[in-house]
Amino acid sequence: MSVLKGKKILLGVTGGIAAYKTANLVRLFIKAGADVQVVMTPASKDFVTPLTLSTLSKRPVFSTFYTEEENELWNNHVELALWADLMIIAPATANTLSKMANGNCDNLLMAVYLSAKCPVYFAPAMDLDMYKHPTSIDNFHKLQLFGNSMIPAEKGELASGLSGEGRMAEPEHILAFIENDLSSKLPLNGKKILITAGPTYEPIDPVRFIGNHSSGKMGYDLALEAANRGAEVILISGPSHLNIQHSNVQLIKVTTAEEMFEACHRYYNEVDVAIAAAAVADYRPKSVANQKIKKTEEAFSIELEKTKDILASLGEQKKNQFLIGFALETENEIEHAKLKIQKKNLDLIVLNSLNDEGAGFGKSTNKITFIDKSFQINPMPLKSKEEVAKDILDKIIF
């Protein structure tokens, strides 16, 4: 999943031959999951039609301060600017760059630019001598001092027939530049997080197993939120109907507690944070039947043995990792959670009580209490699991 998913992008198109590339640029933004609003200068319509960009963006294209209808409608430049999460001006011609640098507001696009509070990117496009001219270079520097981000022009054949620097960056490169720039500014960029999720199934025979009602949703929401904040995530999941699509998430599927134990220890030394959100079986059958057990006796017993304690083993091997555990309790919740912090060498525990309505397995909500290693207690209200995931990640300390 792209970092642009859900972002509102304002694309400013100016009057240069490279404007024809903006059709593909809009398409790429839409494919990445962004909403795109196009604003064109009047001159840009000589190179690409508003109908093309409107069709691709699925929004009306604006180029003037009012719409020429029976009742003229004002195109509010301030409203457009405040709507956007990002603004990209591509192509940015020498003329437009000069206006941007000097505050010359003579069209709708410039009025929107001067009203924008969001990050602004610009992709210059002009002939090589224009690109290297001292006034152009001065405008590049000035705009970057304003906080705008320049997407450098590329080398190649130009409309003049010459070959050199000045071509607008290709749409794929513009997309990659913006994604990389946004990713580098995310709070968890460069961090690696291991998250466990879901139940484990401990086989009795080839048909039956011991398990629990965990859906894995809490762990999956944690993984998605961590990835959206820039972290590289290793999600180790027991059986779950859920899936996750994000370029920053590596999903490792396991079934048993033993498989989850091995997977956790395979990656633990390379992560900065580990969050044990899985509901791991405490016991497993001591012996597993090779064939389906037939129903013959009125009573049937299974001898169980303890599974390996994944969280305790991670706590024993902890070096610099920030280790978070979960506790699902039904009585003496705070006392049991504090003991778990000490016994398992945790930095933070997320306490769930089945006595709280809306908490526990198989629900879209959760009600948690944070307890840190200093035994500071912070109860939280009932929230969606997506919001709880945000709260948990806010507690991580590096």
CA distance 362 to 355: 15
Find the helix or strand (DSSP H, E) in which 31 lies.
helix 22-31
Catalytic residue among 75, 95, 212, 345: 212
- Cβ-based neighbours of 387, under 8 Å, separated by 6 or more: none
Number of Cβ atoms within 10 Å of the Cβ of 72 = 9
> Which phi and psi (to 5°) does residue 51 adopt?
-60, -40
- Cis previous bond, 60, omega within 30: no
Instruction: Give percent helix, percent strand, percent coil of the chain, each to the nearest 5.
Output: 35, 25, 40
Element (H, E) at 397: none
Q: How far apart are CA 277 and CA 299, in angstroms?
A: 35
Q: How far apart are CA 226 and CA 209, in angstroms?
A: 32
Active site (annotated) includes residue 212? yes
Tell me, what DSSP letter sits at residue 6? T
Number of H helices, E strands in the chain: 13, 23
Q: Which residues pair with 234 in a beta bridge?
A: 194, 250
Q: Which two tokens stand for residue 299?
A: 């009573």
Q: Are 362 and 385 in contact (CB under 8 A)?
A: no
Neighbours of 184 (CB within 10 A): 10
Identity of residue 280: V
Residues 258, 283: Cα–Cα separation, whole Å = 11
Which residues are bridge partners to 233 per DSSP? Answer: 193, 249
Torsion sign over Cα 129, 104, 87, 159: negative
Q: List residues with catalytic annotation.
A: 212
